[in-house]
Amino acid sequence: MNEIETNRLAHANAYAEAALREEAQAITDLIPQLDDNFRRAVAMMYGCRGKIIVTGVGKSGNIGAKIAATLASTGTPAFFINPLDVYHGDLGVMTPDDVVLALSNSGQTDELLRFIPMVLHMNVPIIAMTGNPESLLAKYSNVHIKVWVRKEACPLNLAPTSSTTAALAMGDALAIALMEVRDFKPQDFAQFHPGGELGKRLLTTAADVMRSDDLPIIPQDMHLGEAIIHVSKGKLGLGVSLEDDKVVGLITDGDIRRAMERWQAQFFDHTVSDIMTRTPKTVQPNTKITEIQRIMHKYKIHTVLVVDDERRLLGVVDHYSCMI
């Protein structure tokens, strides 16, 4: 490695920072470009009775494939087609109920333009995403989303960098806007991702993970010295008081420690009712793990009780049970 190469390598972080700033600016510059065409595109995709067919060539094709995957996983049926494959049978998947989302930075990509007449012949509406509103693709489209960048992050201003980042961000903006319009919920997301960790957390309920056997039940009038033993044997760090099989109170090992510090020698004279929380946090058996985690985080607790509509104790879910 010669001296010039060594010197350039020493500035690698500076080059990277400049590229990241350039691409970040390219995304920020998209905001003023949002106009009524974006809203029309969202409306067209939302009203689509078929599929969103995303297409593009080269780097735009790579971005298009990711956009199609994001749409499909967030409630909008979509898939990617390479326009070159259309000539070999893939056109058969297209119907008049579909909408085409075509990506091209220049809007003049020859392979893509040769595909457009086939789409128009089938009366399939076209949403174009380009950096050139005067391009042929923009003119042939029903809606044009402008994704113009000042320059590429590439120092030669040649390699698709800022332009592909901007197109990817605009695709995400479309997907997110559609999620909001559809009122897409976490449980909807879980249905499209049932095999992943997130899907499991979104679909798993309290009934699936709660401990229901050998629960540490302690009477309200039990002295704290004896209650310590029951709490310890329960291995949950708590004890639950019931009356007519209904939850009336909860004590934790933290409650016990604080009571010891407060009362010291008189600690053993006190009973469970003196320190128990009379309104412990409870959930229903069908409560999702994600909601339980939200409750634990909000109230800074490590355990919730699972009860039925009559507040009868069914089980206990602790912090570790939620780590699935």
Domain boundaries, the chain: 3-184, 206-322
pLDDT for the residue 199: 61
Q: Return the CATH number of the domain spanning residue range 206-322.
A: 3.10.580.10
Please state, in angstroms and rounded to a whole number, the distance separating the CA atoms of residues 191 and 186.
9
Mean pLDDT of the chain: 90
Please report, rounded to a whole number, the percentage of residues in the chain having pLDDT higher than 90. Answer: 69
Sign of the four-CA dihedral 39, 45, 48, 54: positive
pLDDT for the residue 235: 87
| 248, 257 contact by CB (below 8 A) | no
| Domain 3-184 part of CATH 3.40.50.10490 | yes
pLDDT for the residue 67: 97
pLDDT for the residue 193: 53
CA atoms within 13 A on the CB side of 73: 14
Please state, in angstroms and rounded to a whole number, the distance separating the CA atoms of residues 243 and 219.
8
Average pLDDT over residues 253-268: 92
Please state, in angstroms and rounded to a whole number, the distance separating the CA atoms of residues 169 and 186.
22
Please state, in angstroms and rounded to a whole number, the distance separating the CA atoms of residues 234 and 297.
23
Average pLDDT over residues 227-256: 92
| 45, 52 contact by CB (below 8 A) | yes
Residue 202 scores a pLDDT above 80 = no
Three-class secondary structure of residue 132 per DSSP: coil
Looking at the chain, how many residues does it have? 324
CA angle 103, 74, 184 (to 5 degrees): 130
Residue 317 scores a pLDDT above 90 = yes
pLDDT for the residue 121: 87
